[in-house]
Structure 1
Amino acid sequence: MGKPARQAHTELNQDDLKLLPNLCSIEALFMLVVAAELLAVLLSVASQGLANLSWAHLGLVSALVLWITLGSAALVCAARAMLERLPPIVSWLLVYTVTLLCTGFFSAFGQWVLKGLGRGFIDWWQVASHVLIAAIIAGMLLRYLFLLQRLRAQQQAELRARIQALQSRIEPHFLFNSMNSIASLIATDPDLAERLVEDLADLFRAALAQTSMVSAERELALTRAYLRIEQLRLGERLQLNWDVQTPPADLELPNLLLQPLVENAIYHGAENNRSGGEVRVRFESDDTGAHLMVRNSIAPESAASLRPGHKMGLDNVRHRLQAFYGTSAHLTVEELAGEFSVSIHIAAAQRRSALGNTNKKV
């Protein structure tokens, strides 16, 4: 278990710690435009003073700053894939150089247009002053953006490490129980034991996989495999009610999200009651999001084998949901008359992981 965790940490360092900010998104462009306008106001006030501020001068400065900002962003966005393959210091210097070249070009081009399309001379000292101002401001801004990007990447890496740790805390419990169930069948029904070994292999593969998200269909199949093992172990004591609709093909869920809830339902329900009990699993997806529910009957208080719950499995699932979705996912626990219910709702807009599509599916 330790070796795969170290390999996953190495992959995060290589894939996630990108220094180049993503200037191709609408959000980034909006922030660049706002910053450019604020800079234009600052430069105009600094050169003319607030009392003598001319709207015409502000408009010219604003146009020049916007040309430089958007032109540089467009070039960096177009070359992003190539720049990310270079050493960090080289990519940083290239982006810095592109910004200064855009400043010189648009400064000279603006003078050329304003003076009658080449009828007047270009003031190269003014161009040089614009490049110098851009060198100071761009240096500070790019440094800030790169540090911010690195901080976000490190936070993503820490988030994934946290999710992996929570998942690993869920793994051993059900794996050992499953192996004990299979061992009891080897002598009496080897064919059935072989089929259960295949189910257990799927569960091992999911538990050991370095992935955060899987398709909803895959997650439900893993839960079904676990229930087949438990059904044979408990026999008629376990009554299953499987009310699951076919999930959308593009719907993803956190890996091993549902299985711990089903395990707890069996452990505190049918397995804890000499007369057995019912476990109900329900899943549906609509325009509002994905809905999961696991409900189990509760053993009578008089049962000698009543087991106190430590709620570790529920806490782990709740923490994973919070890490993936924040406030867009809710886990609700209800204890009704003779029943215990756990419900999960994931909003439609957040059904995919905030970590993006960088994780490979099981």
Structure 2
Amino acid sequence: MPASPQAALNPLDPLSQAQTIIRIMLTGEALAALLTLSQSARVDLLTYFGLASFTIQWVALASLAMLYLARRHLLRVSPTRIAAVALAALLCSTWLVTALAWAVLHDTWLVPAEGWPVFAVKLTTLALLVGLLALVAFHSHWRLRQLAVRAKQAELEALQARIRPHFLFNTLNTGAALVHQRPEDAERLLLDLADLFRAALAGPRAIPLSEEIALSRRYAEIEGLRFGDRMRIHWDLPDPLPGRAVPTLSIQPLIENAIRHGVEPSPSGGDIHVRLDVARDMLSILIENDLPPAGSTAARAGHKLGLESSRARIQALTGGLGDVATRIENGRHITLVTLPT
């Protein structure tokens, strides 16, 4: 079963982000500067800073590399154990860099004044202190992140409770209009409605993208029975669909918005285009709909509820890496969903 939004969060996820690596390197430079300023005037400060910076950066990068290579084996490990593994990686990296420095520089003028054994002990002590401070900061950050996820889940439940009546009222009105004149279409509508409500009542969870697209198609079929030729929806999707997991009912509300605010207010209806593109590290879903002509009766509400729901679900599942953005371009309303692959 696909992971829930909480399970999708992993303490090691931020370590692969460019901004995290840059922050670690800048912190290393600041630490090297502090160590340099603490030295006596007899030491060549520029040379000492260069050596300290070189050593700290290599220790940091080696630690990150170890954690990155081990990330798949740590997916089901508790955050506390991951923190212990990170500290062990930092100490191992410190010893490895020290050993390499001794092998390369042991007979040059760059030999530490106190000798290699004392230098290794000092560097290990420094790495241990920095690692312990980082663990305290990590523990506080992770607790705050978990609290934020729980708050977001409560918000998702509230949004979902508001969406369910909207599903029901619109679809039952359409079914009531079809039941006598087109009973076969009314039966298909009720079956599609059952699938949508089964997904809605299951609560916030992650499902395969193919399943979410299938739910969106069922919703489009329901609205197609209501609007007939006025609604023209075009699906531009790869076959097969990517295996990415998405929050349940995260794409469907965006299709619903496109119909309610693009097709419904326009006397002549409108076109909706749904396109999915896959890049190296990003999956994007583009939903475009015609804007109603000037003077058309506007829908009762703007692109709000469905957009807020989808954005909240996707951000909760991806830990803030995914998003939903909207814009108006060339007379069309465009909704762009981005998800990390």
Q: So what's the TM-score if we normalise by structure 1? A: 0.66
Q: Kindly, what percent of the aligned residue pairs are identical? A: 22
Report if aligned partners of 1:19, 1:150 keep a CA contact under 8 Å in 2: no
After TM superposition, give the deviation of residue 167 of structure 1 in Å.
4.3
Residues 199 and 295 (structure 1), Cα distance of their counterparts in 2 relative to 1, 3 Å cut: farther
> Which protein is bigger by CA-based radius of gyration?
1
Match of 1:115 among 99, 106, 110: 106
Whether the 8 Å CA contact 2:276–2:286 is kept in 1: the answer is yes
Matched, 1:292 2:278: no
Q: Deviations over 1:9-67 (max 9, x none)?
A: x9444x14534454344443333323222222221121245x96532222222222123
- Correspondence 1:94 to 2:75: no
* Aligned ranges 1:147-166 → 2 under 5 Å: 147-152=140-145, 154-156=147-149, 158-159=151-152, 161-163=154-156, 165-166=158-159
Cα deviation 1:53-106 (Å, max 9, x = unaligned): 532222222222123222222222222333443343333223223322332443
Corresponding residue to 2:129 among 129, 136, 142: 136
Of residues 43, 60, 64, the one that matches 2:51 is 60
Q: In the alignment, does 2:251 pair up with 1:254?
A: yes
RMSD: 4.5
Of 282, 303, 306, the residue aligned with 1:314 is 303
Of residues 174, 182, 187 in structure 2, which corresponds to 1:194? 187
Partner of 2:167: 174
Q: Are the equivalent residues in 2 in contact too, given 1:282–1:292 (CA < 8 A)?
A: yes
Conserved? CA contact 1:36–1:66, under 8 Å: yes
CA contact (8 A) 2:5 2:206 kept: no
> Of 57, 61, 70, which residue of structure 1 is paired with 2:61?
70
Aligned length: 314
Question: How many angstroms apart in 2 are the aligned matches of 1:85 and 1:345?
Answer: 35
Tell me if structure 1 keeps the 8 A contact 2:287–2:335. Answer: yes
- Distance change (3 Å), C-alpha of 1:110 and 1:177: closer
Give ranges in structure 2 of 5+ residues lacking alignment: 278-283, 316-321
Distance 1:42 1:68 in 2: 17
The amino acid across from 1:82 in the alignment is H
CA contact (8 A) 2:307 2:324 kept: no
Structure 2 Cα separation of the partners of residues 204 and 298 of structure 1: 35
Q: What TM-score, normalized to structure 2?
A: 0.70
Select 1:280's aligned residue among 259, 266, 270: 270
Task: Give the deviation of 1:113 after TM superposition.
Answer: 3.3
The residue identity in structure 2 corresponding to 1:343 is: H
Compare relative contact order (CA 8 Å, sep 6+) and give the higher one, 1 or 2.
2
Residue in 2 that maps onto 1:242: 232
Deviation for aligned residue 1:161: 4.9
How far, CA to CA, are the matches of 1:22 and 1:300 in structure 2? Answer: 47
1:278/1:170 Cα in 2 relative to 1: closer, same or farther (>3 Å)? Answer: farther
Tell me the amino acid that sits aligned with residue 242 of structure 1: R
Matched, 1:352 2:341: no
1: CA distance, partners of 2:104 / 2:262:
75
SS in 2 for 1:100: helix
